[in-house]
Amino acid sequence: MAGVRIVDLAEVHAGPLGATLLADLGADVIKVESYPRNSLTRPLRPDARVADGPGPPYERTAPQTQSNRNKRFVALNIRAGPGADVLHRLLDSADVLVEGYAAGTIQRLGFSWDVVHERHPRLTMISMPAWGVRGPYFGYVALGSGVEGTTGHLRARGLPAGGVEDIASTVATDASAPLAVAFASIAALRRREETGEGSFIDLSHAEAFSWYLAGLLGEEVLAGRRYRGQGNADPYVVPHGCYRASGDGPGGSGHWVAIAAETDAQWAGLASLLGHPEWADDGHPWASIAGRLAGRIEIDGILASFVRGRDRWEVADVVQRAGAIAAPVLEPSAMLASPQLQARSWFVPVMHRYLGERLMPGFLTRVAPDAPAWERPAGLVGEHNEEVLSELGYAPAAIAALRAAGVIGDGYGGAGPPAAATAKAGRPRPGRDGGAPPGR
Amino acid sequence: MEQPLSGMRVLEVGGTIAVAAATKQFSDFGAEVIKIEPPAGGELRRTPPFADDRPHLDTGAYHLALDTGKRSLVLDVETPSGREVLGRLCSGAQLLFLQLPPEAAGRVLGVADSESGPSTVAISPHGLDGPYAGRVENDMSMFAWTTRMYRHAVEADGEPLRYAPNVATMQVGATAAAVGFGAAWGQAHDGTRRHVDVSGVEALAGNVDTGYVDWVLLGTERRARGRMTENYPIGNYACRDGYVMFAATLGPQFQRLCTAIGHPELVDDPRFNEPIAKSQHWADFMEFLGPWLDARTRSEVFHEMQAHRVMVAPVLDMSEVTEDPQAKARGSFVTVEQPLVGPVTIHGAPFQMEEAWEARPSPRLGEHGTEILDALGYGRDEQIALFRAGVTG
């Protein structure tokens, strides 16, 4: 994606990670952060969950760190006239703008598609509120957990006998939307080669995720059945589940192993491992899939006994060697011990000014010959203000004037580096609503 | 206006859910996708559910949803004859997606490896190299490696849970599509063929919704925690006709929520106005929120709360999602006339772009074999020979 410039005006995970995926492939991504209002992932509250370290706490949060590698960071008040001018100059040089405010907000900020398209005809704009721009939920706000509720996925998780109250929230839609952002950006670039113009893309987190539920929708529309959470069970495969192993996991939980045998051959391997190769011989009821479905409870019990008291890694290894499916259920700290991830050097040591060196998760995919690199950690507030504005043609004196006027800055709430002290007007009040809420 | 991907040719090999999910993104946006399928149909066509619960290679939900607009060629790429056909297909293609065991994948990648060949995207559970490269996994076991399962347990010491079936696998396919598209864009502009190695575990673990970054930064390993009563409201709360999902714990959200339920004074109530006191008075707060929810449907809660910009959403059943007013207004679902099944409702575009996306019917297994082989220049005698030898079907 070298030669492509993306402007990331989004917050939290979905938009920012989408821009990062393009940056990993070589795009020049400039993140324009809200200023002086801090974003949701840069909390000023003293009790916010942040990593230990020097520097302002809003430079040490997990989501901010995870979803923002390989970008340059500008902190800009786009409500102020001179700030809007800076953004327009930046958009003149850009190919794609990604924004995730609640529907309607970007218009109020003066950057509706009509305005943007008129002034920057080759620019593509991706607007990505929770449920998209168009439709009766215009202006509504949500996190990924809420979006998941309307897709049907939340209600399809959990255990058959469990209460809905107990189904944990996920941010599954924050994982799918970035993939759609990347794909949509390239689709729009390709279309521009035909039309010469940028496109408007109305990206609903719900729609970017929902097509993953093809099977669940099929249960309704093809088989006429209501799908409910079945835990790890598969109605057509026995065994298929997680079994408790020895050892303690995080927060008083146990260690577990996921085990399945989908075919007769996998079952035969598992039966031999269990010391009963005859369970796979012709004539034995469990030799056939139909017989195993009928024996689900008994087979589950046998596997549970086999796994109990054993180490999860060891069980997974022996079941795999026997020819069936198995994996240890890992918590984050255990993932580091994966021989596979180690052999592929997946984790990446990343140096961050305030976090020090941390072993960050690797890239979503490997690419050869030009592999992605973690060239920049998540940026600091306004870290590249001077660099980017200089490239846009602002003289040092003009940049200093913008800083003095509070149009750009490099800290929030007075807790940041010295420059923040100049940004008195409109400083956000900790713990209060500092203006229009982000859509995300 | 043409569809944005028209003029692209994309090949799909392996017949799995992940690889079909990847190429669907290209097909629906206008690329020509040739689905090269094993004679027995492959995982995608065999995965339930099926129309009327009658298993059939051409009537499964995954096939009907993910093979839209593709052309189907049955070809055994495990034979030299099959790979010769594949080689001819490669010379006109921009991208080749495949999911096969490592050695078979290597042979197919070898076929694509010529100057005029496509960029390649190989999907597998663990990647093409490393000690686990040969391991067989499924949707559940692949997910187990990614740290996500513990977060989705119902009880703190209960069984860790996967997403609903194949949702993680679909995400792997979508990841392959996005990065593969980047590779094709690059090749079109700099002439460099690129090779993408998609490990499902890495694609999932490197994305959000894992606990890894929280752990490496904060040292905490989040577990399922059931009802949150320390800070609230967050999670699923019952109302008159079902559940709503709240994420309204933080200062301004909580303040607006109190206003929305007609009790703005609660914000300054000493039971709720600072974190420690608030953590001890969930039951007290429910005396205000509970009756308010009991008196309202999900829809009423949603609209009344959103009028105050409170983050809440209705929890919908799969039977309700197609009737959701937002989905209807946006056309989030479409109906495709599938020749063997009739009209079938499937999910619509993953993002909305003018005149860009269209779902066409899914092909029967091997439906386009003759026309594809004709176009590649195979005479009928050659086609008969390939068929007789079991290479095509």
Question: Inter-chain contact A222–B165, Cβ cutoff 8 Å?
Answer: no
A168 touches chain B (CB under 8 A): yes
Least confident of A58-67, A155-164, A216-225, A297-306: A155-164
Residues of chain A in contact with residue B344, where contact means CB-CB under 8 angstroms, are 221-222
Q: How many helices (H) and strands (E) does chain B have?
A: 17, 12
**Residue A414: band (very low, low, confident or very high) from pLDDT cuts 50, 70, 90:** low
pLDDT of A424 over the 60 cut: no
Best to test chain B binding among A125, A159, A183, A266 (most B CBs inside 10 Å): A183
pLDDT at B224: 65
A15: nearest CA partner in chain B: B208
Average pLDDT, chain B: 95
Question: Inter-chain contact B238–A164, Cβ cutoff 8 Å?
Answer: yes
**Pairing mode of beta strands B342-347, B333-338:** antiparallel
Average pLDDT, chain A: 92
Residues of chain A in contact with residue B205, where contact means CB-CB under 8 angstroms, are 335, 341, 361
pLDDT at A440: 26
User: Are the beta carbons of A239 and A262 closer than 8 angstroms?
Assistant: no
Mean pLDDT in residue range B17-45: 97
Phi and psi at B101, nearest 5°, equal -60, 155
| DSSP conformation class of A380 | P
pLDDT at B32: 98
Q: Cβ-count burial of B369 within 10 angstroms (0-12 exposed, 13-18 middle, 19+ buried)? A: buried
Q: What is the rounded CA–CA span in Å between residue B67 and residue B51? A: 16
Give me the sign of the Cα torsion angle B90, B92, B95, B99. Answer: negative
Q: Is A391 helix (H, G, I), strand (E, B) or coil?
A: helix
**Residue A327: band (very low, low, confident or very high) from pLDDT cuts 50, 70, 90:** very high
Written as six digits, the tokens of B129 are 């190299």
Summarised one tens digit per residue, pLDDT across range A172-220 is 999 999 999 999 999 999 999 999 999 999 999 999 999 999 999 999 9
ipTM of the complex model: 0.97
pLDDT of A145 over the 80 cut: yes
Summarised one tens digit per residue, pLDDT across range A369-408 is 999 999 999 999 999 999 999 999 999 999 999 999 999 9
Query: A349 CA to chain B: closest CA distance, Å?
Result: 11
Percent of chain A clearing pLDDT 90 (strictly above): 84
pTM listed for this prediction: 0.95
Q: What is the rounded CA–CA span in Å between residue B318 and residue A155? A: 8
A154 touches chain B (CB under 8 A): yes
pLDDT of B79 over the 70 cut: yes
A21: nearest CA partner in chain B: B179
pLDDT at A415: 46
| DSSP conformation class of A436 | S
Residues of chain A in contact with residue B174, where contact means CB-CB under 8 angstroms, are 176, 179-180, 183, 212
Mean pLDDT in residue range B103-116: 94
Written as six digits, the tokens of A203 are 């990206």
Mean pLDDT in residue range B373-378: 98
Q: Cβ-count burial of B228 within 10 angstroms (0-12 exposed, 13-18 middle, 19+ buried)? A: middle
Q: Cβ-count burial of B299 within 10 angstroms (0-12 exposed, 13-18 middle, 19+ buried)? A: middle
Q: Is B266 helix (H, G, I), strand (E, B) or coil?
A: helix
Tokens 């043609």 correspond to: A393
Least confident of A67-76, A419-428, B303-312: A419-428
Percent of chain A clearing pLDDT 70 (strictly above): 94
A208 touches chain B (CB under 8 A): yes
User: Are the beta carbons of A241 and A300 closer than 8 angstroms?
Assistant: yes
pLDDT at A161: 82
Mean pLDDT in residue range B46-70: 97
Q: What is the rounded CA–CA span in Å between residue B168 and residue B210? A: 12
pLDDT of A117 over the 50 cut: yes
Question: Inter-chain contact A344–B130, Cβ cutoff 8 Å?
Answer: yes
CA atoms within 13 A on the CB side of A55: 19
Summarised one tens digit per residue, pLDDT across range A23-72 is 999 999 999 999 999 988 899 887 788 999 999 999 999 999 999 999 99
Written as six digits, the tokens of A338 are 């994966």
Written as six digits, the tokens of A427 are 């400083």
| DSSP conformation class of B391 | S
pLDDT at B222: 67
pLDDT of B226 over the 80 cut: no
pLDDT at B225: 67
